[in-house]
Amino acid sequence: MRPKVYDGEQRKLYDSLKLAGIVEAPVNVCVTCDHQRPKGSGLGRQTDPAVDVYSTVCAVQNLWLAARAESLGVGWVSILDLEQLKTTLGIPQALTPIAYLCIGYVSEFRPQPDLLEKGWETRSNLASITHFDGWGVHDMGLKK
């Protein structure tokens, strides 16, 4: 599913993004979250219903770091129709797909993320997005 929110040059760039990893990767993993899972008696979800999603994303990050330590590449596919994915994989309606990952050996680890290299996005200045002792306070008192 290709969203219609992009136009002009951004549309051309969006349409050129490579999705071949789904076919080329030897392993594809779909990570889901079951919001009704009884394990832990819902601890955490009582005060923040999204905690289970956060925990699932942390598990994805841990998988990613472990894969990288083994010289495996991981690609997180975000350009897909989640309802179609659920239908294709037979995922029960109550579960939420969190990540669709392509995992495999890569010929190289590029120095920059693909979307940065392709000009889709630029990096933010770390100081502008880091806050210390309160929102909007960017000086961490670490000046030499």
pLDDT at 90 over 90: yes
- CB count within 10 Å of CB 96 equals 16
* 72, two tokens: 């495996």
Amino acid 44: pLDDT: 66
Cα gap 142→144, rounded to integer Å: 6
Question: pLDDT digit string (tens) for 52-81?
Answer: 899 999 999 999 999 999 999 999 998 888
Question: pLDDT digit string (tens) for 4-13?
Answer: 788 888 888 8
Compute the half-sphere exposure of residue 120: CA atoms within 13 Å on the CB side of its CA. 16
Cα gap 40→29, rounded to integer Å: 25
